[in-house]
Structure 1
């Protein structure tokens, strides 16, 4: 089984090239999705982890995904690259 890359901001699986964000040279990145990252910048640079949790929860519930899947996704967010070192900042 292949390891599926996930957006290191929101946790979305990056299973297609269309799902991937872009660097400023136009190349696709395997680290972030197109909803979070474009032209080497986060689309919402001021967003914090709690806001991302609310956003992810809303989108997953809108798709009527089971609550255990939503909770699993929320639990993964703090260890993703974008949030990993920011959770301890005061």
Structure 2
């Protein structure tokens, strides 16, 4: 399994679902279960910047300081999902 989700940047070993799923139920090695289910992105209409804001807000809800949430999400636009 990859080291980080290539959509949100979360460490894959922290994913409670142990990876997203492909259409045939095979575990994804690139994307976490929050970002990718049944072969599709859960927020397929998001831009990288929208994903970053979404992740920052989720982390803040979990008690992370805003600056630290930003630090951990700042590389989202560089992840594989967001490359053109």
Q: TM (normalized to structure 1)?
A: 0.78
Flag structure 1 segments of 5+ consecutive residues without an equivalent.
86-90
RMSD: 1.8
Other structure's SS at 1:65 match:
coil
User: Structure 1 runs of 4+ off > 3 angstroms?
Assistant: none
Of structures 1 and 2, the one scoring higher in RCO (CA 8 A, sep 6+) is 2
Q: Give the paired residue count.
A: 82
Q: Give the structure with the larger strand fraction.
A: 1
Q: TM (normalized to structure 2)?
A: 0.83
Flag structure 2 segments of 5+ consecutive residues without an equivalent.
none
